[in-house]
Chains A and B, each alone.
Chain A
Amino acid sequence: MIFGNLMAMNPSNSLEWMIFFIQKYSNMFIQGTWITLYVAVIGTVAGFLLGYIVGIIQDIEIVKEDSGIKKLAVRIVKGISFVYVEIFRGTPMIVQGMIIYYGLLQADIKITSIMAGILVTLLNTGAYMSETVRGGIKSIDTGQREGALAMGMSPLSAMCFIILPQAFRNIIPEMANTFLTNLKMTSVLNVIGVSELFMMAKTAGGTYYKYFEAYLVIALIYFVLCFIFNRVFLLLERKMAGRKDYVLAVEYMEDR
């Protein structure tokens, strides 16, 4: 009822303006939230994958016994991943967005702004994530690796089945951090025309010259999103920690 009245009358204070925006632009804000999530989730998940690959590459050690070809190949791949990480950690995401989007357009490669946004997010995430993964791998006791190798596992199997699952558990908090950062950093992608939340607030606020209220609305949306995802990650972390107790297999107890 109140909402109905507000539509008819002119909003007179900030709260009323916010309600007005939410009502009038609900579709826009929902669409903006959707695009924000879309870019952030796909960009982050793909970025995590890239981060794991680059992190594992960075962890490869060259030993004296390796063949010349293997040594050279490892050096080249390591060199490329090093340069990639340095470049993406050393430049602002907003600048990367501009360069990639306009660069690709200039090279006649047709790309939507959303695709460019996802690309920037994933490349950025991959760069940071690779260092997190590397740290996570380093944090696992070398005995775990040796235990796996000593039973005949290949170095790759040892990495995939023994080391990475443990490293993964250790870096969940950092992965949550990265995801939340990405969720918020998508706001800079409005510069290349991604119609995410920030762009929506700019449009809505611009129509009425009421920027403060429009941005307050999306601040609220960002906050709620982050809050929800934070709980999800905490839950995941708790689930990965496993049970504190265990059940004795009584069927294998020996009679004494």
Chain B
Amino acid sequence: MGEKVINVEALSKSFGDHEVLKKIDFSVSRGEVICIVGSSGSGKSTLLRCINKLEHQTAGKILFNGKEVKDIQKEVNNYRSKVGMVFQSFNLFSNMTVLKNCMAGTRKVLKLSEKEAYAKAITQLKKVGMAPYINALPAQLSGGQKQRVAIARALCMEPEVLLFDEPTSALDPEMVGDVLNVMKELARTGLTMIIVTHEMAFAKDVSTRTIFMDQGYIVEDDVPDRLFSNPKNQRTREFLTRYIAECAG
């Protein structure tokens, strides 16, 4: 694997008295596709939000390409423009068309020209199969379409790392496939991705590393083949058994 892109060092996060993340250590190398699984409330979404600085960690630090990301607004903005994020609830700008959504970041943050931003938006929208919908407003799209636009919007920034926070959890079952296929395609292109998900089959299939989190700890961190078929930890085993039972039932 390539050099480390993101290092998370002794990261803790508390909401009041409740400690959600407990001294998390892990790192991401260039080209890795990491899936983070675990039950609700295990802290996986919070970890992702901390990595993007949408939550301020209580302790510990985050390194990007070996340099600490300090809590200075300018630095944070710059860092975020290189680390994209796709949300569970899409968060497309509802006052803008699909096209404008995809041009917002390139125009306002990267300060590209109208023409360049347009070309980029179309390229990325084509990738996710949403180019014909450039004139639509988010409210006029289905969930799956919105999420594909959100992915295209993030890709327009040409991020070094793309974070996914349960990207398919708010979707109808038949739309999940569309979004997962887009993500699979991205994984194939070598984009570094960190994906919080409940889609075990996808995690097993696509990730180069799977992380199981429980109660604010990283319990197991392994290649998916081993983690899914032969988990070392008791908690991982319980989680997976329960999960498979639920899916079968």
The answer on a CB contact under 8 Å between B133 and A146 is: no
- A160's closest neighbor in chain B, by CB? B108
Contact partners of A107 in chain B: CB under 8 A: none
Q: A103 at interface (Cβ–Cβ under 8 A)?
A: no
Question: Which listed residue, B84, B95, B133, B137, touches A150 by the CB 8 Å rule?
Answer: B84
* A92 in contact (CB, < 8 A): no
In the bound assembly, the distance between CA atoms of A116 and B94 in angstroms comes to 41
In the complex the two chains form, what is the Cα distance from A246 to B132 in whole Å?
11
Per-residue CB contact flags for chain B residues 126-140 toward chain A (1 = under 8 Å, else 0) read 100101111111001
* Bound Cα distance from A64 to B59, whole angstroms: 13
| Bound CA–CA A147/B151 (angstroms) | 12
Please give, as numbers and ranges, the residues of chain B lying within 8 Å of A1 by CB-CB distance.
none
Are A254 and B135 in touch, CB under 8 angstroms? Answer: no
Among B80, B90, B93, B154, residue most surrounded by chain A Cβ atoms (within 10 Å): B93
Q: Which of B68-124 contact A (CB under 8 A)?
A: 71, 73, 77-82, 84-85, 87, 89-95, 97, 104-105, 108-109, 122
Residue of B nearest to A162 (CB): B93
A252 touches B89 (CB 8 A): no
A247→B135 contact, CB < 8 A: yes
B73 near A154 (CB under 8 angstroms)?
A: yes
Distance in angstroms between the alpha carbons of A11 and B91 in the assembled complex:
68
Set of chain A residues within 8 Å of B244, measured between Cβ atoms? none
Q: Which residues of B contact A165 (CB under 8 A)?
A: 95
Are the C-beta atoms of B56 and A147 separated by less than 8 Å? no
B89 in complex: contacting residue of A143, A245, A253, CB < 8 Å: A143
B140 to chain A, nearest CB (A): 6
Measured CB to CB, the nearest residue on chain B to A169 is B95
Interface string of A213-256 (1 = CB under 8 A from B): 00000000000000000000000000000100111111011100
B52 at the interface (CB under 8 A from A): yes
Find chain A residues with CB under 8 A from B94 CB. Answer: 144, 166
Shortest beta-carbon distance from B127 to chain A in Å: 12
Asked whether any CB of chain A lies closer than 8 Å to the CB of B157, the reply is yes
Closest residue on chain A to residue B141 by CB atoms: A246
Q: Could you tell me the distance in whole angstroms from the C-beta of A161 to the nearest C-beta in chain B?
A: 6
Contact of A193 with B by CB under 8 A: no
A2 within 8 A of B: no
On whether the beta carbons of A151 and B93 are closer than 8 Å, the reply is: no
Whether B54 is near chain A, meaning CB under 8 Å from some CB there, is yes
With A146-B87, A147-B92 known to touch, is A252 a contact of B132 (CB < 8 Å)? yes
A169 to B139 Cα, complex, angstroms = 15
Contact A151:B81 (CB < 8 A) given known A64-B56, A249-B133, A252-B132: yes
Whether B105 and A151, one on each chain, are in contact in the complex, defined by CB atoms closer than 8 angstroms, is yes
Q: How far is the CA of A162 from the CA of B109 in the complex (A)?
A: 13
Q: A162-B95, A249-B132 are in contact. Are A151 and B54 (CB under 8 A)?
A: no
The answer to whether B56 touches A63 (Cβ under 8 A) is yes
Question: What is the bound-complex CA distance between A151 and B96, given in angstroms?
Answer: 15
Q: Does A87 contact B (CB under 8 A)?
A: no
Chain B residues lying within 8 Å of A148, measured Cβ to Cβ, are 93, 104
Nearest CB of B to A46, in Å: 25
Contacts of B80 in A (CB 8 A): 149-152
Q: Does A206 contact B (CB under 8 A)?
A: no
Contacting residue for A152 out of B81, B91, B122, B131, CB 8 A: B81
Query: Do residues B95 and A249 form an inter-chain contact, with CB atoms below 8 A?
Result: no
Q: Does B153 contact A (CB under 8 A)?
A: yes
Which residues of chain A come closer than 8 Å to B97, judged between CB atoms?
A: 246
CB closest residue in chain A, given B86: A150
Q: Which of A151-179 contact B (CB under 8 A)?
A: 151-155, 157, 161-162, 165-166, 169
Judge whether A108 is part of the interface by a CB distance below 8 angstroms.
Answer: no
Q: Is the CB of B135 within 8 A of A246?
A: yes
Picked from A141, A151, A254, the residue with its CB within 8 Å of the CB of B157 is A151
Distance A25 CA – B71 CA, assembled complex (angstroms)? 67
Least Cβ–Cβ distance between B62 and chain A, in angstroms: 13
Give 6 A-B contacts (CB < 8 Å), ordered by A residue: A144-B91, A146-B91, A148-B104, A152-B80, A248-B132, A254-B129
The 4 nearest A-B residue pairs measured at CB: A152-B81, A147-B91, A252-B131, A151-B105
Known: A152-B81, A249-B131. 19 other contacts (CB 8 A): A65-B56, A65-B71, A141-B89, A144-B94, A147-B91, A149-B54, A150-B54, A151-B85, A151-B105, A151-B157, A152-B77, A152-B78, A152-B109, A152-B157, A153-B77, A153-B105, A162-B93, A248-B133, A254-B129
